[in-house]
Amino acid sequence: MTEICDIEVVVFDVLGTLVDEPGGLRAEIRDALPASDDASVDELLISWQQYVELEQQRIGQGHRPYVNTEIIDAEAAQRVADHAGLADPAAIALLATAGQRLPPWDDSVAGLERLAQRFPVLGLSNASRTALLRLNAHAGLRWHQALSAEAVLAYKPAPEVYQLAIDAAGCPRERVLMVAAHAWDLRGAQARGMRTAYVQRPVGDPPTSSDVFDWRFNGLDELVTTLLPR
């Protein structure tokens, strides 16, 4: 196992790891449909998330040509609108951009700032270039570089997405640390030879008993403290 002191570059997943994607989408759906009760909003959120996941999987399996997250999110928003009876074009268009207004977790902004004083810090997201730009600005996430999977017309966990970060890092892949709240994401990075760190979030995909990641942390503060020993 690579020692923590051997890490040269830190790469972060964004959606779910640094921003509360379900919470942000839920709030946007509620704003679009203020008369809906909690159960209805949760049902619509699940429908949105399942649609996005399915379409990204279909693209990864070659069953659909690549389209970016702005298109998939617009389709998901229309699906929610149709189900809820929302017919206002302006409201639907605003809902389609909900993924660009997600709130950061409480420790995200300060954690990135601290790490950036010692390491080159990269974001690596399935979000489109434009969506990632606007999301970073909204959430206050500051990067040395933010990479979108759109650059390789694929979605994580496709290997070419992780290669984007490895190429940008400019150092041996075993010195590049991928940080995520999703075990499936870390498995993809691990398969490309990157080091891996799972950060627990209220949402995400926890490791299974068979996952062997380099490090596991209860939150971003714990990771930062480990990477930046006093």
Average pLDDT of the segment spanning 111-118: 96
Closest CA to 227 of 15, 1, 6: 6
**With bands split at pLDDT 50, 70 and 90, how would you rate the model's confidence at 229?**
confident
Residue 16 region by backbone torsions, left for phi larger than 0, else alpha for psi between -120 and 50, else beta:
left
Q: Measured in whole angstroms, how far is the alpha carbon of residue 189 from the centre of its chain?
A: 14
pLDDT digits (tens, 9 = 90+) for 204-227: 899 999 999 999 999 999 999 999
This prediction has a pTM of 0.95
Average pLDDT of the segment spanning 57-83: 98
Instruction: Give the other-Cβ count within 10 Å of 216's Cβ.
Output: 16
Taking 80 as the threshold, does the pLDDT of residue 192 lie above it? yes
pLDDT digits (tens, 9 = 90+) for 92-106: 999 999 999 999 999
Those residues whose C-beta lies under 8 Å from the C-beta of residue 13, and which sit 6 or more positions away, are 124, 125, 156, 178, 179, 180, 181, 182, 185
Taking 80 as the threshold, does the pLDDT of residue 230 lie above it? no
Count Cα atoms within 13 angstroms, Cβ side, for 168: 23
Phi and psi at 78, nearest 5°, equal: -65, -35
Closest CA to 216 of 204, 103, 106, 91: 204
The three-state secondary structure class of 189 is helix
**With bands split at pLDDT 50, 70 and 90, how would you rate the model's confidence at 4?**
confident
Residue 9 and residue 32: Cα distance in Å, rounded? 40
Residue 16 and residue 19: Cα distance in Å, rounded? 5
Decide: 20 and 204 in contact? Cβ < 8 Å.
Answer: no
The domain limits of the chain are: 4-20+103-227, 21-100
Closest CA to 190 of 4, 3, 1: 1
Average pLDDT of the segment spanning 77-88: 97
Task: Report the pLDDT value the prediction gives residue 204, as an integer from 0 to 100.
Answer: 83
Task: Report the pLDDT value the prediction gives residue 1, as an integer from 0 to 100.
Answer: 47
CATH code, 4-20+103-227: 3.40.50.1000
**With bands split at pLDDT 50, 70 and 90, how would you rate the model's confidence at 5?**
confident
What is the C-alpha radius of gyration for the chain, rounded to an integer number of angstroms? 18
Decide: 185 and 162 in contact? Cβ < 8 Å.
Answer: no
